Amino acid sequence: MCPSCNGDSSSATHVERSDMVGVENSRIGRPAHAANGINGHANGSANSVNGSSSRPVQRINPYAPRASDFLNNVSNFKIIESTLREGEQFANAFFDTKTKIAIAKALDAFGVEYIELTSPAASEQSRLDCEAICKLGLRSKILTHIRCHMDDARIAVETGVDGVDVVIGTSSFLREFSHGKDMTYITKTAIEVINFVKSKGIEVRFSTEDSFRSDLVDLLSIYQTVDKIGVNRVGIADTVGCANPRQVYELVRTLRGVVACDIEIHLHNDTGMAIANAYCALEAGATHIDTSVLGIGERVGITPLGGLVACLYAAAPEYVKAKYNLPMLREIENLVAEAVEVNVPFMNPITGYCAFTHKAGIHAKAILNNPSTYEILKPEDFGLTRYVAIGHRLTGWNAVKSRVEQLALTLTDDQIKDVTSKIKELADVRTQSLDDVDTILRVYHSGIQSGELAIGQKEAFDRLLREHRATSQSFERSEPIAAAA
């Protein structure tokens, strides 16, 4: 397994670039996990591939927030990390105290502004764990999450938290089938709970559960009421994951015009919209986004921390890099994945097995010239490495040339094109590992050097490859016998 890509990429070559924009200093390296351990870096000028010259690359980031959009918080937001609250509601989750502390410390080291913990009213151990995490002295502020009920509030304020997140359902579904309370009762209780928490000198947030299926007038009215009594934040929750980006934008934008306090948003991912919705919420003026590591939570969970970071890094890379310890992301995801016994998904933004693997020949050529051609995220900013896979039938001679240079073999472009067709022919039967590709290149090179081979001599090459394989196989077979003797 590759330590930096979460997986095996034995038919790939690592390509590391120290400069996204320029084409000099390209470094084509061998994967640490590749079988024959060649770590040489041929400093081929990627610019010279195919004799093409690169044009100056535009440095303006088209994804950055527009200066004219004054409500946009895409480069001014805080993360409320809820792996230890929403994440505990994931079907597989059971976090013992030690694991909770490890996750809280990792999130703190990553730099999230808030860590939200399960209600201390949930169980005695939940209360003790909440107290223990509050005593760690982390830089992240510690919040706990309670029902809009004085019994829960009284327990919460005694734990040592920096703030309490209060929630109650406002949709007709929840008013009828969950708590059974009307808006008058909800408003009265919310005022009582908020005033009580505020009297303890800690932060308080009031959130409406199932906001997108609640009546807009009810929502704006209760948010306005709690804003007037000095709540720190109001929260919108897409509890069932039904909202789309336009709806999120409109609700947040409307709310921004009604309250002066901060606006948090909590977005479930049932229809796969959670990251897009979070982005739109920030565009509309939300200030705080709820996340969990790998998105774990009820059902399919909420906005994933890593995915949100990827999305916001694309928009405001310098801001995101300055705020968070990005290379820690992989470690945190692995920690949580292990704790809840799941794998990091192969298509996970940033840390997925193939997040920085390039395959098709057209992509490979351009990536070798300038990684910005096909990458919006710089793997090195996340402590990761990119790969160019070459041992497959979609490969091209430019990618093969990079490997030839890396192995310090001397072949002309025409010879490289010739050996590329050989690789493709073999890869039509099965994908070739990097070792296989290296063997093909070395056999071809030595055939050319010895004069036994010329361009286009397919049968001669096949014979040389067969002979090489026969020799190396008999050597491999005889080795254990020699060792035993």
Active site residues: 363
Neighbours of 384 (CB within 10 A): 24
Alpha-carbon span 389 to 373, nearest angstrom: 16
Q: Helices 305-315 and 274-283 meet at what angle, rounded to 10?
A: 40
Among 163, 235, 349, 447, binds ligand AKG (CB under 6 A): 235
Please identify, among the stretches 104-112, 174-182, 231-239, 427-435, the one whose residues bind ligand AKG according to the rule CB under 6 A: 231-239
Pick 269 or 357: Cβ nearer ligand ACO: 269
In angstroms, the CA 98 to CA 71 distance is: 41
Mark residues 40-79: x for contact with Zn ion by CB under 5 A, - for none. Answer: ----------------------------------------
SS3 at position 205: strand
Candidates 38-46, 155-163, 233-241, 388-396; binding stretch for ligand AKG (CB under 6 A): 233-241
Cβ-proximal residues to 426 (8 Å cutoff; 6+ apart), any chain: 432, 436, 440
When binding is defined by CB under 6 A, the residue of 18, 50, 97, 178 that contacts ligand ACO is 178
Please give the residues from 74 up to 93 whose contact with Zn ion meets the rule CB under 5 A: 86
Whether the CB-CB separation of 326 and 290 falls below 8 Å is answered with no
Contact 156, 122 (CB under 8 A): no
Residue 167 is a binding residue for ligand ACO (CB under 6 A): yes
Residues 133-162 vs ligand ACO: string with x where CB under 6 A?
--------------xxx-------------
Using rule CB under 6 A, residue 209 touches ligand AKG: yes
Which of 86, 227, 283, 436 binds ligand AKG (CB under 6 A)? It is: 86
Q: Does 121 bind ligand ACO (CB under 6 A)?
A: yes
Are 335 and 103 in contact, with CB atoms under 8 Å apart? yes
456: Cβ contacts below 8 Å, ≥ 6 apart = 418
A 10 A CB-CB count for 480 gives 9
From candidates 80, 168, 236, 265, binder to ligand ACO by CB under 6 A:
168
Fill in the DSSP letter of residue 188: H
The one-letter code for the residue type at 421 is: S
The pattern of x and - marking residues 133 through 162 that bind ligand AKG according to CB under 6 A reads ------------x-----------------
Residue 398 CB, shortest distance to ligand ACO, in Å, is: 51
Separation between Cα atoms, residue 167 and residue 152, nearest integer Å: 11
- With CB under 5 to 8 Å by kind, the binding choice for 168 among ligand AKG, Zn ion, ligand ACO, none is ligand ACO
Beta carbons of 340 and 296 less than 8 angstroms apart: yes
- Residue from 181, 266, 323, 424 that binds ligand AKG (CB under 6 A)? 266
> CB of residue 76 vs Zn ion: minimum separation in angstroms?
24
Q: In the set 167, 174, 275, 411, which binds ligand AKG (CB under 6 A)?
A: 167
For the bound state, the minimum distance from the C-beta of residue 146 to ligand AKG, rounded and expressed in Å, comes to 9
175 is a contact residue toward ligand ACO (CB under 6 A): no
CB of 107 to ligand ACO, least distance (A): 19
Count of residues that bind ligand ACO according to CB under 6 A: 15
34 CB-near residues (< 8 Å, 6+ apart):
10, 434, 435
| Contacting residue, 11, 207, 214, 303, with ligand AKG by CB under 6 A | 207
* Nearest-5° Cα angle at 94, 92 to 96: 160
Q: With respect to Zn ion, which residue has the nearer C-beta, 247 or 334? A: 247
Q: Which two tokens stand for residue 276?
A: 């897009």
**CB 241, min distance to ligand AKG, A:** 9
Amino acid at 231: V
29 binds ligand AKG, rule: CB under 6 A: no
Sheet containing 12-17: give its strands across. 26-29, 12-17, 386-389, 357-358
Chosen from ligand ACO, ligand AKG, Zn ion, none, partner binding at 165 (C-beta under 5 to 8 Å by type): ligand AKG
Whole-angstrom Cα distance, residue 312 to residue 315? 5
Does 277 bind ligand AKG (CB under 6 A)? Our answer is no
Q: Return all residues near 437 (Cβ < 8 A) that are at least 6 apart.
A: 11, 390, 391, 400, 403, 423
Three-state SS at 69: coil
Report the Cα 359 to chain-centroid distance in Å.
Answer: 20
Q: Please state, in angstroms and rounded to a whole number, the distance separating the CA atoms of residues 150 and 185.
A: 13
Nearer to ligand AKG, 172 or 471 (CB): 172
Asked whether position 97 contacts ligand ACO by CB under 6 A, the answer is no
Instruction: Give the other-Cβ count within 10 Å of 81's Cβ.
Output: 29
List residues near ligand ACO by CB under 6 A.
Answer: 89, 119, 121-122, 147-149, 167-169, 178-179, 209, 239, 298
List residues near ligand AKG by CB under 6 A.
Answer: 86, 145, 165, 167, 207, 209, 235, 237, 239, 266, 268
List residues near Zn ion by CB under 5 A.
Answer: 86
